[in-house]
Chains A and B, each alone.
Chain A
Amino acid sequence: MTVKEMADSLGFKILNEAESTNAKKIGSVYCCDLLSIAMSKMSEEAAWVTVMSNMNTLAVASLTDVSCVILAEGVAVDEGMLAKAKEQEIALFSTELPVFEAAMMVGKAIGK
């Protein structure tokens, strides 16, 4: 499943769609809010589900080239983050669902 297909089918709110990542494959789902753990464990095709909503989340997402970031629990996102996601071309979604449920949805959709 690609990022675009996920965006179209799972009903997450689209905060930033990135032309360059639309066709990127989602190969795994990763959940952890602690940045330096996530940093070293996430693979490139991961969809990262987290409640950590700040600039540093985006910095880690960008450095690790994850396929997309899904902010769970309806956490707030500020303007600066949206601008950064756009600039760094990071696919960013949000959902009211808890981390586990959001991750389950993606996991099922990619056959995990």
Chain B
Amino acid sequence: MSDSIKLNYKITDEDFTRAGEASGDVKKRLRQMGCSPEVIRKVAIAMYEGEINMVIHADGGEIDVEISPEEILMVLKDKGPGIPDIEKAMQAGYSTAPDNVRALGFGAGMGLPNMKKYSDEMHIDTVVGVGTTVTMKVYQQ
């Protein structure tokens, strides 16, 4: 398995009920490829949180995933409002989620902290009014 696998997912903001399908698909593939349960869990959590953030806080976007023997690279790109204060957004408990999505169980303000915790590397590029790109890596070893 020397080649890497590249996957692309378009995330729409229309349908809340579908959020999680991209992460679910990646999880399924990693399992088929025989990745360790720990790696699968890390990728599933980190990617789901990023995916759902794109749906809730931006207007959807695109996720590129690259799976290589060394690592899983996830790049989540949206053209949403951007994050004015990353440090604040990264704080556990900080959330601007509106009431209608809080009613669905979101808004604990734990998504970004989870992404940080479960990825091995994470980087956020964001410009207010332009969009946000979150890059995460999970090492295979």
Query: B106 an interface residue at 8 Å Cβ cutoff?
Result: yes
The answer to whether A34 and B20 touch (CB under 8 A), given A56-B104, A59-B48, A64-B41, is no
Residue in A closest to B101 when the chains form the complex, CB atoms: A56
Number of A-B contacts (CB under 8 A): 72
Are the CB atoms of B114 and A40 closer together than 8 Å? yes
Are the CB atoms of A64 and B105 closer together than 8 Å? no
Q: Which residues of B contact A (CB under 8 A)?
A: 16-21, 23-24, 27, 37, 41, 44-45, 48-49, 52, 104-111, 114, 117-118
Starting from the known contacts A35-B106, A63-B45, A64-B45, 9 additional A-B residue pairs (CB-CB under 8 Å) come to A39-B49, A54-B105, A59-B19, A59-B21, A59-B48, A62-B20, A63-B23, A64-B41, A64-B44
| Interface residue range, chain A | 20 to 34
What is the CB-to-nearest-CB distance from A91 to chain B, in angstroms, rounded to a whole number? 17
